[in-house]
Amino acid sequence: MDSGHLPGHRTRGREGRSSHPSGDRTLVLPGEEIPSDGLRPGSGTYRVHGKVYASVLGLVAERPPFIQVLPLSGRYIPKAGDVVLGTVTDVQGTFWLLDIGAPRWAPLHMTGTPWKVEIGETDRYLRVGDAVAVRVENLEATGRIGVTMVGDGLGRLEGGTIITVSPARIPRVIGRGGSMIQSIQSLTGAKMTVGQNGRVWVDGTPEAIGRVRQALRIIDLDGHRPGLTERIQDLLGSRSPDVTIPRLPAPPAEREMAIPDDDGPEPPDEP
């Protein structure tokens, strides 16, 4: 981790997962006992016979009065207010179903769009495979995820490509106060929209998209190591890029969800 710095505000907003530096941050696996010191079992834990155990793989965090485990893996868990990128998986008479990488598909009702949609004419606006930026509006106990497309920066995504990273890495993609995403955009000339569900929409020249893809890949695989900002700037910045990285061949015109190129051997090495 890079720092003694206190975590910055904003980036993740609201109930700020970032803002409590307390807790010992040890890695626990499901079934391992967590010393609770009288704290109540929170998310990612369960209690049997007065003892607290982890239920997911993650890091222990004390949030009095709770002790919880922050998961290190798993699907995107929606939160109200999050901007997410999705693809249309089904079209019904009055709504669309979106895959946002969450456990369930999210219904987008026709009234949640900036358009005047007639019943039965939903497929004139969005079709299966189209990509959209939406905001999570309400979460029901049934697991239903309500989303809306009315708001700044929301709508259908045209052109460009979507690159997927782990949802847990999104704060790193954004950077403190948006610093990371701004420097990636200005160094590559690409235009980006980041979804909290780990999907990043990128538009620009094929060359720019290729470089953003490499930067995101480093953040995804290697984002937990210190000096991330410097490594990204080295990759994209003043130094001649072909010294640092093998150039990707210009990717073929990609549409919709591009499959992330994430199964290479190990994190790319840094010279």
Rounded CA-CA distance 170/58 in Å is 17
Closer by beta carbon to other proteins, 242 or else 264:
264
Rounded CA-CA distance 181/11 in Å is 11
The verdict on 224 binding other proteins (CB under 8 A) reads: yes
The residue type found at 173 is: V
Reference 167, options 260, 268, 269; nearest CA is 260
Residue of 35, 64, 103, 129 that binds other proteins (CB under 8 A): 103
Closer by beta carbon to other proteins, 77 or else 150:
77
Least distance (Å) between residue 212 CB and other proteins: 18
DSSP state of 250: P
Reference 213, options 252, 157, 161, 255; nearest CA is 161
Question: Rg of the chain over CA atoms, in angstroms?
Answer: 20
Longest pairwise C-alpha distance within the chain = 61
The verdict on 29 binding other proteins (CB under 8 A) reads: yes
Q: Which helix (H) or strand (E) holds 243?
A: helix 241-244
Rounded CA-CA distance 263/215 in Å is 15
Residue of 39, 40, 42, 55 that binds other proteins (CB under 8 A): 55
The verdict on 2 binding other proteins (CB under 8 A) reads: yes
Rounded CA-CA distance 91/107 in Å is 10
The verdict on 196 binding other proteins (CB under 8 A) reads: no
Closer by beta carbon to other proteins, 145 or else 187:
145
Least distance (Å) between residue 143 CB and other proteins: 5
Residue 211, SS3 per DSSP: helix
Binding span for other proteins by CB under 8 A among 22-30, 152-160, 200-208, 231-239: 22-30
Binding span for other proteins by CB under 8 A among 8-16, 79-87, 188-196, 243-251: 8-16
Which CA distances in Å does 86 have to 6, 194, 216, 238? 33, 11, 18, 34
Least distance (Å) between residue 188 CB and other proteins: 21
Neighbouring CB atoms inside 10 A of 144's CB total 12
Residue of 207, 256, 262, 270 that binds other proteins (CB under 8 A): 262
The residue type found at 260 is: P
Q: State both tokens at 52.
A: 């607290």
Closer by beta carbon to other proteins, 120 or else 267:
267
The verdict on 119 binding other proteins (CB under 8 A) reads: no
Q: Which of residues 140-159 bind other proteins (CB under 8 A)?
A: 142-143
Residue of 39, 56, 91, 257 that binds other proteins (CB under 8 A): 56
The verdict on 12 binding other proteins (CB under 8 A) reads: yes
The verdict on 171 binding other proteins (CB under 8 A) reads: yes
Rounded CA-CA distance 172/7 in Å is 12
Name the residues that contact other proteins, by CB under 8 A: 1-3, 5, 7-8, 11-12, 17-18, 21, 25, 27, 29-31, 44, 46, 48, 53, 55-59, 70-75, 103-105, 142-143, 168-172, 174-176, 223-225, 262-263
